[in-house]
A and B are shown apart, each in its own frame.
Chain A
């Protein structure tokens, strides 16, 4: 089986063709540099994404948060819905852990902003 991907590593946007044997990448063609083939392998075997969203305190203050590491792409919505339910009280420091293990991914969610008490 072959798949087509546009590389996102730089503005070249190489159109890559990836030959797959089941889940295994057999070959990558069309890339200009080795970053392209590395991206293709990750993207087709275990794609990951950073998740960024906000949590709100009981009195409605928005705090931006992010997953500390990228999470599996198919878990994005699970992460967002669990983050939505998180309870946060001020003050919050940037880097504070809001959720230790979001949606059982093993990855923490951390605050992306310092918000003092009102």
Chain B
């Protein structure tokens, strides 16, 4: 059986950054398993720009960002196997892989970094009435078809969901010669960046219909059109139905961390993120198994993915070096309270090894001129003023070690201020 110090599951931005960081921490025997034909993950199809402002201080396209990390992987001599599907990870860190070259093979790893990313919520999970004609794609599938396979899925398009991928695809379909009639968003606000609403919709005169959803899909073999209605309190309003003829429907309705392998391995999952429960080292409930990137919680900036994944890689290296599963200090839970939906990590060891702890979280509503507050035993231990926080933008605060070292019991994190 082949043996490795670290097996990284997934060769996207998280997996590459984890492997690079582990190597730089002195870990030598690393392997990256990637199911696609190349490293880079979903960045390869994200040909728009806006990546890397934090990491490289310049605006890159997705493929450029991916290539920078793939180059680091190659320059550091880190082996990777593409076209390789990981079938199972057992709790003793035996990883079962399958590829054309090697067939089915079990390998043994002293540590594992989970970096499988996430997938899009499909039509079947949305509960829209109607047949199942061809012509319905998730936005990411259409993105791959156009940008990698060079195929335009259709000519007359509507988009459900106003997440950033949906907005980006509205522009992409338009530039490729399709007509995008509208983007429909169930909520009264968009989940996309203002920049994308302006540059992907307004620039091309594509309307964004808020508080609207698709209530029926017409067409049996091929998509013929959709019926759209205005929505109030989650229910369609009778009499507001409108028919949009179309041959293509793109869905941009949320992302779900892809944790089948983690679950099979027995990793505890946080129902709030659908990702693993982790400590300050990004270690899951199974010693030696770490998680980072979109499989841990869905990010909106790849820069944060890289930073988080580097931490997971360093932790794996330290685990292999010392064999230590956690710190000696008391484990303290981070409890999301008013206005905070979840946190990563979920807990930390009072003697965590770094100078500061990054706490990443999302807020539950729109907060202007508010503050992020940490309390322990009713006493405030940390406060940071913020101009604006919105649910679609992940927050990342760095809390100094000496602040958290005071904690003897659970630390509560909350937003002070009124949601709009």
B:180-219 near A, CB below 8 Å: 193-195, 197-199, 203
Question: How many Å from the CB of A42 to the closest CB on chain B?
Answer: 13
Contact partner of A56 (CB less than 8 A), chosen from B150, B203, B388, is B150
Contact partner of A6 (CB less than 8 A), chosen from B176, B198, B393, is B198
User: Are A8 and B199 in contact, with the CB atoms below 8 A?
Assistant: yes
Chain B residue numbers with a CB within 8 Å of A77 are 175
Question: How many Å from the CB of A33 to the closest CB on chain B?
Answer: 9
Most A CB contacts (10 A, CB to CB) among B146, B148, B194 go to B194
User: Can you list, as one digit per residue, whether each of A44-87 has a CB less than 8 Å from chain B (1) or not (0)?
Assistant: 00000110111010001010101000000100110010000000
A7 to B197, CA, bound (A): 11
A7 to B387, CA, bound (A): 15
A8 to B198, CA, bound (A): 8
A56 to B287, CA, bound (A): 47
Q: Which residue in chain B gives the minimum CB-CB distance to A93?
A: B67
User: Are B393 and A53 in contact, with the CB atoms below 8 A?
Assistant: no
User: Are A8 and B194 in contact, with the CB atoms below 8 A?
Assistant: yes
B147 at the interface (CB under 8 A from A): yes
Contact partner of B388 (CB less than 8 A), chosen from A12, A50, A53, A66, is A12
Interface size class of A (residues with CB under 8 A): 20 to 34
Known contacts: A52-B61, A113-B63. The answer to whether A8 contacts B203 by CB under 8 A is: no
B221 at the interface (CB under 8 A from A): no
Chain A residue numbers with a CB within 8 Å of B67 are 94, 113-114
User: Are A54 and B147 in contact, with the CB atoms below 8 A?
Assistant: yes
Question: How many Å from the CB of A116 to the closest CB on chain B?
Answer: 11
B328 at the interface (CB under 8 A from A): no
Contact partner of B390 (CB less than 8 A), chosen from A11, A32, A50, A56, is A11
Report the tally of A-B residue pairs with Cβ distances under 8 A.
69
Question: How many Å from the CB of B164 to the closest CB on chain A?
Answer: 13
Q: Which residue in chain A gives the minimum CB-CB distance to B71?
A: A114
A9 to B59, CA, bound (A): 14
User: Are A13 and B194 in contact, with the CB atoms below 8 A?
Assistant: yes
A113 to B388, CA, bound (A): 36
A10 at the interface (CB under 8 A from B): yes
A56 to B152, CA, bound (A): 13
B64 at the interface (CB under 8 A from A): yes
User: Are A53 and B47 in contact, with the CB atoms below 8 A?
Assistant: yes
Contact partner of A112 (CB less than 8 A), chosen from B47, B194, B197, B387, is B47
User: Are B199 and A49 in contact, with the CB atoms below 8 A?
Assistant: yes
Chain A residue numbers with a CB within 8 Å of B149 are 62
B48 at the interface (CB under 8 A from A): yes
User: Are A10 and B64 in contact, with the CB atoms below 8 A?
Assistant: no
Question: How many Å from the CB of B175 to the closest CB on chain A?
Answer: 5
User: Are A6 and B150 in contact, with the CB atoms below 8 A?
Assistant: no
User: Are A64 and B61 in contact, with the CB atoms below 8 A?
Assistant: yes
A interface vs B, CB < 8 Å?
A: 6-8, 10-13, 32, 49-50, 52-54, 56, 60, 62, 64, 66, 73, 76-77, 80, 94, 112-114
- The 24 listed contacts between A and B (C-beta, < 8 Å) are A6-B194, A6-B198, A8-B198, A10-B388, A11-B393, A12-B387, A49-B203, A50-B49, A52-B47, A52-B49, A52-B61, A54-B47, A56-B150, A62-B149, A64-B47, A64-B63, A66-B49, A66-B61, A73-B203, A76-B175, A94-B63, A112-B60, A112-B64, A113-B67
